[in-house]
Amino acid sequence: MSYDIAIIGAGVVGSLIARKMSKYDIKIALVEKCNDVAMGTSKANSAIVHAGFDAMPGSLKAELNVRGTKLMGYLCDELSVPFKNIGSLVIAFSEEEMETLQELYDRGMENNVPGMKIIGQDRLHELEPNVSKRALGALWAKTASIVCPYELTLAAAEVAVLNGVDLYRNFAVNDIAFENEIFTIKAKNGKEIEAKYVINAAGIYSDYIASLIGDNSIEIVARKGEYLLMDKSLGGVVNHVIFQCPTKMGKGVLVTPTVDGNILTGPSAKDIEGKDDITTTTDELDMVRKYTSYSIPNVKLNAVITSFAGLRAHSTKGDFIIEPSKVNPHFINVAGIESPGLSAAPAIAEYVQDIMLDVCGRLPKKVKWHRTRPEPVRFRELSTVERRELIENDPAFGQIVCRCETVTEGEIIAACHGPIPAVDMDGVKRRTRAGMGRCQSGFCGPKVAEIIARERGKDLLEVTKFGDNSNIVVGKTK
Amino acid sequence: MLKYDLVVVGGGPAGMAAALKAKECGVEKILICERDETLGGILEQCIHTGFGLHYFGEELSGPEYAARFIEQVEKTDIDVKVNTMVLDITTNNVVIAINKQDGLMEISATAIVLAMGCRERPRGAISIPGTRPAGVMTAGTAQRFANIDGYLPGKEVVILGSGDIGLIMARRMTLEGAKVKAVCELMPYSGGLTRNIVQCLDDFDIPLKLSHTVTEIRGKDRVEGVTISKVDGNLKPIPGTEEYIPCDTLMLSVGLLPENELSRSVGIRLDKVTGGAVVDQYRETNHEGIFACGNVLHVHDLVDFVTQEAQTAGEGAANYILGKKEYADYRIHTKGINGVRYVVPQRISMDGSEEPVKLYFRVGQVFTNATVKVTRNGNVIYAKKKRKLAPGEMENIVIKPEDLQDFSEGDYLFIEVEG
């Protein structure tokens, strides 16, 4: 297949770029090495929309963070993605850290961050009664928010697909040739596509993808962050994103509500060798526990329902790299998108759009462009009246499959037939929350697997957790 | 709005026994709401034998044990709704439930029996480090795959936790041709029944590694192996004792938790140790007219005891519905101390009843040749020698009515182990 633009990587950045570019009347491919979208950093991060006071003034990070945060609320509203503007608090435990707050505040002012305020101990404890009594004050940033990062990615990719973008899954790019102004992009599974322009949004692998055209200017270090996710029964222990003062390695361990009402703590920060180590470790998680208790002493650490690790795509240059490659101007690098990458993502999409209009010249717009996607049913959020009506229209919504998160069979069937169908257990989980609750799919796992098999016309033996050889069962009983 | 005298939430052994007992006592309109496709609960996937020795005096499989009650339910006019999930219970005893046929139902109930059972602790609750591949599952999930769906969850298995389901699954997987390489138990003793250790592990030469835990899971797509380590007296892994075992499956049998989300939402007080409701001897919770029994109240070792307890709850609910409930003048508390982890019921309603009160309890460690004592104000009112007491086995003692005289409001009965 020949395309005008091939976007490599269906994370939040690649998917939002795909959505943005899908309004033009051109052919676009979005290629992803995994079995689904949002399988890398986009599914395992802090899920925070940062206010924008961290990044150095004048950097791309600063500019795009502040702009992205401004856009995020509207975007999530448009795409029906869970989003809550809850504000953040950076907590200071010493006079020295109070000075750091002032530095952050000043930097925020330079970055044009609205809604910041330094507050004292009393106001802090009024806002967050469970924060350590030793905290002296905090930087309160009202524009900080929380979002569901994988749902944002999925929603953006769905809109792109509804507007004619071709999504290729399990397309792990391992060769790119450039001849007669056309890129030939080959995947490990033998498939190939052609494109006039390439956008490299490959996350932690963006240096490798750039190297395939001979651009060795990018170096990405994978920086691992481990997290603990707590039961919803802890909901309300904090109401804002609670940061500690930043260190060289990142923004410290945060404690935050998630859009679904759980409590998330983490991340640790450790540079790793290679790019595929997403193991959790006792040492790092103990560290997360320790720092969590430091901020919120009475948090019940035994309420953990799962732990996970994600990799930040840290560029050795320190800033986002969003520009045409020096080696080939038709190859656009969108690399080094570490924190505040999620916050900046909507602005990155805009920024890349401008670059594309620059390199491609004027692009024709589609006559009809779908701004959004069909809103998914979220049974757990509906009122009794709405639930009753829904079941009357479609009895599949009358069968609860995931009891912990109140997910119905109707929602799982819909996920299997959406614009980007869920094809595995984790795909259903991210789309519906089935299996994300306190029993972690103990009860609903077999039922979800059965529904996936049925809806896709396959045997249970073929159902996987997340593609490749991650099969759920290995054979039939005697 | 539908109206019932009694709504039973959960159609497993507890729910069925409670409903049947209430019927026998004369309650007219009874409804059982069951979320699965059939009555029977988890018994339906427990195809091994060992059920019913106490209650029926014969050894039955799980489905056989369940069938005896299902048949009885079918002979009565108890209404049963399967594939029906109770979403909420309001404080004025309205049960909100849904299913495909009836849609969303609001059911007004005079009394409610909670019999939702329990769930297994997942991997996350014990934070096993490593990768997150397919092939890590709780023993109960594996049991469902194997016994209900007919699929083999894995071929080379390590089991963490020696609770009864873990032990049963060790044997079940072996019979299916899988190789169970080890059962690891964090504690220096097993959490399961002795008979299960003998019949499920020893008989099949499956090694039980006490004071061992899994310290790493490896594998990208599917589990490729686990590292196990010996633990010290503080249950911390001892460096240098690591052993890598290649396998494709890690099964977890690391504890059961009563599933009390509904109870919590209606404001029922829960016991921190059992994870279930605080109840009196009739299994009535602090919310008048709401009773609890079975594994939602506290995790039982044998279904026979679940049945007995559910009958108590069913009778309690019947008396409440039929206006025969004697209101208590005052209540006294029970409490486990010195080696006794918990006691159910947690309180006794002093209503002038002449009936003995059966107290169930579990110990927190293994005791041999010890004495179980019940004391009141320092006076021993009951003492019995026990050859062996283990955390995996539930114990019970009966307090005679004459020993329950002359208490005052808030008094305590202590149960303890000596020796």
What confidence tens digit (pLDDT) does each residue in B41-99 have? 999 999 999 999 999 999 999 999 999 999 999 999 999 999 999 999 999 999 999 99
Strand partners, A38: none
> What are the structure tokens assigned to B54, written together?
């106490």
Q: What is the pLDDT of residue B268?
A: 97
Q: What is the domain range of residue A100?
A: 84-145+223-309
Please say whether the beta carbons of B317 and B29 come within 8 A. Answer: no
CATH number of the domain bearing residue A195? 3.50.50.60
Give the nearest partner residue to B124 out of A307, A398, A399, using CB atoms.
A307
Is residue B395 pLDDT above 90, yes or no? yes
Residue of B nearest to A442 (CA): B141
Q: Which of A264, A294, A309 is where one domain is finished?
A: A309
Instruction: Determine the distance in angstroms separating the CA of B62 from the nearest CA of chain A, rounded to an integer.
Output: 18
Is residue B28 pLDDT above 70, yes or no? yes
Residue of B nearest to A443 (CA): B141
Please say whether the beta carbons of A433 and A414 come within 8 A. Answer: no
Nearest partner of A246 among A291, A203, A205, judged by Cα? A291
Residue A473 lies in a domain: no
Is residue B277 pLDDT above 70, yes or no? yes
Residue of A nearest to B265 (CA): A233
Count CB atoms within 10 A of the CB of residue B272. 7
How many residues are listed for chain A in this entry?
478
From chain A, the residues in CB contact with B249 under 8 A are 474
Provide mean pLDDT across the span A446-474. 97
Answer yes or no: do A184 and A98 share one domain: no
Q: What is the pLDDT of residue A248?
A: 66
Q: What is the pLDDT of residue B127?
A: 84
Q: How distant, in Å, are the alpha carbons of A62, A319, A320 from that of A58?
A: 7, 10, 12
- Backbone phi and psi for residue A46, each to the nearest 5 degrees, phi listed first: -80, -10
Which amino acid, residue A418? Answer: G
Please say whether the beta carbons of A408 and A379 come within 8 A. Answer: yes
From chain A, the residues in CB contact with B130 under 8 A are 279-280
Q: How distant, in Å, are the alpha carbons of A34, A242, A397, A451, B253 from that of A457?
A: 21, 46, 21, 10, 33
More confident residue, B407 or A345: A345
Please say whether the beta carbons of A191 and A168 come within 8 A. Answer: yes
From chain A, the residues in CB contact with B83 under 8 A are 399
> What average pLDDT does the structure give for chain A?
96
Answer yes or no: do A61 and A181 share one domain: yes
> What are the structure tokens assigned to B207, written together?
């090694």
pLDDT band for position B419 (cuts 50, 70, 90)? confident
Count CB atoms within 10 A of the CB of residue B239. 9
Q: What is the pLDDT of residue A314?
A: 94
Please say whether the beta carbons of A422 and A466 come within 8 A. Answer: no
Contact (CB<8Å) B141/A442: yes
Q: What is the pLDDT of residue B378?
A: 84
Structural domains in chain A (count):
3
Please say whether the beta carbons of A144 and A179 come within 8 A. Answer: no
Provide mean pLDDT across the span A384-403. 96
Instruction: Determine the distance in angstroms separating the CA of A15 from the nearest CA of chain B, rounded to an integer.
Output: 25
Residue A469 lies in a domain: no
Return residue ranges of chain B for CATH 2.60.40: 330-419
Q: What is the pLDDT of residues A193-245, one digit of tens each?
A: 999 999 999 999 999 999 999 999 999 999 999 999 999 988 889 999 999 99
Q: How distant, in Å, are the alpha carbons of A167, A435, B97, B99 from that of A401?
A: 29, 9, 14, 11
Give the nearest partner residue to B129 out of A279, A439, A442, using CB atoms.
A279
Count CB atoms within 10 A of the CB of residue A468. 15
> What are the structure tokens assigned to A78, written together?
């448009």
Site from B119, B120, B235 to mutate, A interface, most A CB atoms within 10 angstroms = B119
Nearest partner of B63 among B76, B50, B79, judged by Cα? B50
Number of separate helices (H) and strands (E) present in chain B: 8, 28
Provide the CATH topology of domain B122-254. FAD/NAD(P)-binding domain (3.50.50)
How many residues are listed for chain B in this entry?
419
Nearest-10 Cα torsion for B41, B46, B52, B53 = -150
Instruction: Determine the distance in angstroms separating the CA of A140 from the nearest CA of chain B, rounded to an integer.
Output: 32
Q: What is the pLDDT of residues A414-430, one digit of tens each?
A: 999 999 999 999 999 99
Label residue A273 exposed, middle or buried (CB < 10 Å: 0-12, 13-18, 19+).
exposed
DSSP label at residue B203 = G
Instruction: Determine the distance in angstroms separating the CA of B155 from the nearest CA of chain A, rounded to an integer.
Output: 7
Q: What is the pLDDT of residue B191?
A: 84
Residue A264 lies in a domain: yes
Percent of chain A whose pLDDT exceeds 90: 93
Domain covering B1-120+256-325 in this structure, CATH number: 3.50.50.60
Instruction: Determine the distance in angstroms separating the CA of B44 from the nearest CA of chain A, rounded to an integer.
Output: 14
Please say whether the beta carbons of B157 and B139 come within 8 A. Answer: no
The answer to whether residue A445 neighbours chain B at the CB level (below 8 Å) is: yes
From chain A, the residues in CB contact with B248 under 8 A are 474
Which amino acid, residue B310? Answer: A
Answer yes or no: do A325 and A350 share one domain: yes
Q: What is the pLDDT of residues B349-360, one digit of tens each?
A: 999 888 999 999
Beta carbons within 8 Å of A111's beta carbon, 6+ residues apart: A52, A53, A55, A57, A62, A63, A65, A66
The ipTM of this complex is 0.94
Answer yes or no: do A365 and A298 share one domain: no
Is residue A249 pLDDT above 70, yes or no? no
Site from B98, B229, B270 to mutate, A interface, most A CB atoms within 10 angstroms = B98
Please say whether the beta carbons of A153 and A201 come within 8 A. Answer: no
Contact (CB<8Å) A395/B100: yes
Q: Which of A345, A360, A375 is where one domain is finished?
A: A375
Provide the CATH topology of domain B330-419. Immunoglobulin-like (2.60.40)
Nearest partner of B367 among B344, B342, B393, B343, judged by Cα? B393
Site from A227, A280, A430 to mutate, B interface, most B CB atoms within 10 angstroms = A280
CATH number of the domain bearing residue A245? 3.30.9.10
Contact (CB<8Å) A438/B98: no
Q: What is the pLDDT of residues B138-196, one digit of tens each?
A: 999 999 999 999 999 999 999 999 989 999 999 999 999 999 999 999 999 998 888 99
DSSP label at residue B338 = T
Instruction: Determine the distance in angstroms separating the CA of B291 from the nearest CA of chain A, rounded to an integer.
Output: 21
Answer yes or no: do A370 and A438 share one domain: no
What's the CA gap between A427 and A355, in Å, rounded?
Answer: 32
| Cis, peptide link before residue A376, omega less than 30° from 0 | no
Contact (CB<8Å) B122/A438: yes
Answer yes or no: do A34 and A121 share one domain: no
Answer yes or no: do A107 and A7 share one domain: no
From chain B, the residues in CB contact with A229 under 8 A are 124
Q: How distant, in Å, are the alpha carbons of A230, A276, B127 from that of B215?
A: 21, 20, 9
pLDDT band for position A252 (cuts 50, 70, 90)? confident
Provide mean pLDDT across the span B391-402. 92
What's the CA gap between B347 and B353, in Å, rounded?
Answer: 14
pLDDT band for position A250 (cuts 50, 70, 90)? low
Percent of chain A whose pLDDT exceeds 70: 99
Q: What is the pLDDT of residue A378?
A: 97
Please say whether the beta carbons of A330 and A181 come within 8 A. Answer: yes
A279-318 residues touching B, CB cutoff 8 A: 279-282, 285, 302, 304-308
Return residue ranges of chain B for CATH 3.50.50.60: 1-120+256-325, 122-254
Q: What is the pLDDT of residues A3-62, one digit of tens each?
A: 999 999 999 999 999 999 999 999 999 999 999 999 999 999 999 999 999 999 999 999
Q: For residue A424, how many C-alpha atoms fall within 13 Å in the half-sphere facing its CB? A: 21
Q: Is A50 a catalytic residue?
A: yes
The answer to whether residue A472 neighbours chain B at the CB level (below 8 Å) is: yes
> What average pLDDT does the structure give for chain B?
95
Is residue A438 pLDDT above 90, yes or no? no
Q: What is the pLDDT of residues B284-327, one digit of tens each?
A: 999 999 999 999 999 999 999 999 999 999 999 999 999 999 89
